[in-house]
Amino acid sequence: MAVPVRDAIIAGNWKMNYGPRRAAEFTYEIISELGMLVNRYPYVLSILCPPAISLMAVREVLDAHLFRRVELGAQNMYFEEQGAFTGEIAPSMVRELCSTVILGHSERRTYFGETDGAVNRKVLAAFRHSLRPIVCVGEHLDQYEAGSTEAVIRSQVTQSVAGIDAEDAPNLVIAYEPIWAIGTGKAATAEGAGKVISLIRQLYGEMYGGKAARELRILYGGSVTSANIGEFIAHPDIDGALVGGASLKPDFLEIVRNTIEVMQKQQ
Ligand code: PGA
């Protein structure tokens, strides 16, 4: 079996769904099949991202099964190390349970006022704590319709992922999530998403050099289901998906299965 240039990531962003009890129950429902799938085909990494209060409950289920390629991620964190920041979670706290943290999701940017500057501080804090950041970027519908996608993405990428150390740069993950495609059932086409994702890779190369750009994993997000994941995975520049709604259902397993199928065909 040939080794792909970049392994794929299928991350489930549960958003504000599933408290500790239901989160543990759902993880039990999918873990054996999920674990076996990614064990059999180790070039797909699956990451479950429950709400912060449910992380421990899901961690316990994962620890009871020990599937190497099923990891845990948080949906957000603060960049300060500790102290008087009521309601926030520090990077070291996330690191106790997780390998990964989603940063700058469009819902955080829209509802909680997160700026590219704040996202950037979080990215640097994540690397200081050996966490893998998944940084989200994406344009609004009006920006898409006005043809300003490229300018929006250029500005988000250059600001959100600035100042990363050379040795950390290949470990970043970017998720391109056009906001008009999130939760709408109207996914982008693989061709359209692929074009933006190729631009992101090019920008990253300008910032951190060719090697980091080749190793950077870029995911697509926005109404991904088991019915459309195959097209995205088949695109040479798309390295997986950040899945919202469909990650709350057993369809998540089907998404992972279809990802594996397409990747195996590519080899
Ligand atoms: P969706 O969400 O799959 O429900 O569209 C994706 C996301 O917001 O990460």
Tell me the per-residue pLDDT of 185-228, one tens digit each, with 9 for 90 and over: 999 999 999 999 999 999 999 999 999 999 999 999 999 999 99
Q: Which pLDDT value is given to residue 4?
A: 74
Rounded Cα distance, 133 and 118, in Å: 14
225: left (phi over 0), alpha (psi -120 to 50) or beta: beta
Closest CA to 102 of 257, 247, 261, 262: 247
Q: For 74-124, write each residue's pLDDT tens digit.
A: 999 999 999 999 999 999 999 999 999 999 999 999 999 999 999 999 999
Q: Which pLDDT value is given to residue 1?
A: 57
Q: For 13-67, write each residue's pLDDT tens digit.
A: 999 999 999 999 999 999 999 999 998 888 999 999 999 999 999 999 999 998 8
DSSP 3-state percent helix, strand, coil across the chain (nearest 5): 50, 15, 35
94 token code pair: 């996330």
For residue 222 and ligand 1, the question of a CB distance below 6 A is answered with yes
Ligand 1 geometric centre to CA of 84 (Å): 32
The secondary element (H helix, E strand) that includes residue 9 is: strand 8-13
For residue 73 and ligand 1, the question of a CB distance below 6 A is answered with no
Among 49, 136, 229, 242, residue to substitute to test ligand 1 (most atoms within 8 Å of Cβ): 242
2: pLDDT strictly greater than 70: no
Strand bridging mode 100-103 / 70-74 = parallel
Residue 17: phi and psi, rounded to 5, are -130, 145
Nearest CA to ligand 1 atom 1: 244
Nearest CA to ligand 1 atom 3: 244
For residue 186 and ligand 1, the question of a CB distance below 6 A is answered with no
Q: Are 47 and 99 in contact (CB under 8 A)?
A: yes
Closest CA to 130 of 99, 102, 161, 104: 99
Q: Which pLDDT value is given to residue 158?
A: 97
For residue 244 and ligand 1, the question of a CB distance below 6 A is answered with yes
Q: Which pLDDT value is given to residue 88?
A: 98
197 token code pair: 């994702």
| Contact residues for 83 (Cβ-Cβ < 8 A; gap 6+) | none
The secondary element (H helix, E strand) that includes residue 48 is: strand 44-49
For residue 50 and ligand 1, the question of a CB distance below 6 A is answered with no
